[in-house]
Structure 1
């Protein structure tokens, strides 16, 4: 075979460099710019805070990526990557300011990587964060060609006194839901198994769209809704991003001891796709609520007196439960 090179081993520095240059050009359009972008480390100026607290999150997209790779549509999962991290960060009261990505793949396909980056940049635009850097790892002996995985990292900042911890939640408080755009980025291992078991193709039709279009609907980013609530002057007592574990597994994380959340399922706006996957897979209701967001992508706990204002500043929001005394838990009624 002759002399070995890194290129012959499956790793192309030239493709990687071309992708970095593409990213460098794309991020110029973002409203926030990084310092020393493309260097060994980069960051942002931090001004306007008296007692700043830095908050950080990391998350991925999960097996939703397998659907993107199966149908050759890669930009929407880039938005998902940003959304999963930014929404987690928002629950703390911090303002997201910077994002980094990690892409691992068997071989850098420039067109696929560009589509992914287009989605990440769009997510950063929607979240109003700077893309300050990242890493693209080409590992031919680890990932098969055509396969990639994503991880994201988000940095936010707020005044220490403005952290939202859930410690002020009390009995009588109200739970307000913000609608999801669909499955978001959770439950896809179950979804894929159900569709496979029932012989349903991603190209089949569902409610006038192809199945893959429904499944690849990007995760909603709740920056504007949370900003509106914070700007309204109401006291936000707790916030939960409804991801893996569903409503019970996520809402419970912000409850103090001695309080339980009661979620009223009849008050959650119906989304037919959840009924669709439930019926296809003969999935029990408890399992549905444990796996999926069920149409609620984000939850906010406020005092009863602040409920009218909260509903007014976020017209898509709805009351879906309340807090009462009891063993720390979330019950669906």
Structure 2
């Protein structure tokens, strides 16, 4: 009979001590995101949060998301310093469209073997995203999962809770014919369509570090973090009568705009109102992708679309530009006839 080997958790591929070191390292960093409503500290079994006093009939708004295969590019080129901003942005941008302010955020980080330096870089960028969105990072989970993940690959997921005044929730129900549609410019690709982008890179044998646009390598354009619109949109809502807000994320124009429209309305988008940023032109050319497919997968330079009355176009755009946003009228709302199936028309 062969002698049995003495085993422990570390020998199976999981080092609990490494996770504890990471928790201690980030404890003080997370304090920079703390809102006054947060009770307790990082490291407990859960996070506690008070309801802000200013709300008369508070409604909680929650969302969860990930970063997708953009993580693969970050791993391949060892550029992890912005990926956490992407994670926060994908959640908080979904929350703010209801006129809700993000309260707190939790993350989930899973890998084959926890690399403290990489993890610290990622969580530092999550903290930066939370600061941009004015929400607290209240905790999370770090998991070592050998045989599920391999090499340096890892996955990220986020969960966010926000709060809105019930009477002031924006849900698209007030959208009317002739409402104007205002676009807010994106930072670039944001966090959608990267399986297609990576397929293009593979098929064309392109090294994104060697292709240069305007003195910057392609990889910098691809890994530029998703823009967080929370603070500026909340300021806009206080000054203007906003009827609907659509976050142009996974599913592009064709899936996201209809999500905030009444069933009998359609959006008419004027494609001549803006020029696609260089990165999208490159993606389309190298992948030989149709315009319809581009609008279906990517934001094409538009991060948010806002519906509001025609008489508020100028004031809204002026305010947004003052706040540093690239903003312009991109289209209008019209009735959807019984014979029409498309609820987004791009001409």
Are residue 11 (structure 1) and residue 14 (structure 2) matched? yes
**Alignment partners' CA distance in 2, 1:200 and 1:167:** 46
The Cα shift of 1:206 comes to: 2.2
Total equivalences in the alignment: 332
Are residue 35 (structure 1) and residue 39 (structure 2) matched? yes
Aligned residues of 2:34 and 2:137 also touching (Cα < 8 A): no
Find the counterpart in structure 1 of residue 221 from structure 2: 214
Find the counterpart in structure 1 of residue 236 from structure 2: 229
Q: Deviations over 1:60-116 (max 9, x none)?
A: 000000000001111211000000000000111111111110111111000010010
Q: Deviations over 1:142-172 (max 9, x none)?
A: 1113111000011100111111110110100
Q: Deviations over 1:223-263 (max 9, x none)?
A: 1320221121x111000100111111100111102111001
Aligned residues of 1:75 and 1:120 also touching (Cα < 8 A): no
Find the counterpart in structure 2 of residue 132 from structure 1: 138
Are residue 331 (structure 1) and residue 331 (structure 2) matched? no
The Cα shift of 1:320 comes to: 0.1
**Alignment partners' CA distance in 1, 2:212 and 2:303:** 22
Q: Deviations over 1:210-233 (max 9, x none)?
A: 22111100000001320221121x
Find the counterpart in structure 2 of residue 265 from structure 1: 271
Find the counterpart in structure 2 of residue 45 from structure 1: 50
Find the counterpart in structure 1 of residue 176 from structure 2: 170
**Alignment partners' CA distance in 1, 2:285 and 2:276:** 15
**Alignment partners' CA distance in 2, 1:141 and 1:322:** 51
Structure 1, unaligned stretches of length 5 or more?
A: none
SS at structure 1 position matched to 2:39: coil
**Alignment partners' CA distance in 2, 1:44 and 1:268:** 42
**TM-score after normalising by structure 1:** 0.97
The Cα shift of 1:31 comes to: 4.6
**Alignment partners' CA distance in 2, 1:85 and 1:65:** 16
Q: Deviations over 1:99-148 (max 9, x none)?
A: 11011111100001001001100101111100011111111121113111
**Alignment partners' CA distance in 2, 1:156 and 1:113:** 26
The Cα shift of 1:186 comes to: 0.4
**Alignment partners' CA distance in 2, 1:228 and 1:93:** 10
Structure 2, unaligned stretches of length 5 or more?
A: none
SS at structure 1 position matched to 2:11: coil
- Greater shift in the superposed pair: 260-269 or 176-185: 260-269
| 1:184-199 correspondence runs (5 A) | 184-199=190-205
Find the counterpart in structure 2 of residue 279 from structure 1: 285
The Cα shift of 1:44 comes to: 1.9
Aligned residues of 1:268 and 1:296 also touching (Cα < 8 A): no
Q: Deviations over 1:180-216 (max 9, x none)?
A: 0000000100011011111111221221212211110
**TM-score after normalising by structure 2:** 0.93
Aligned residues of 2:99 and 2:234 also touching (Cα < 8 A): no
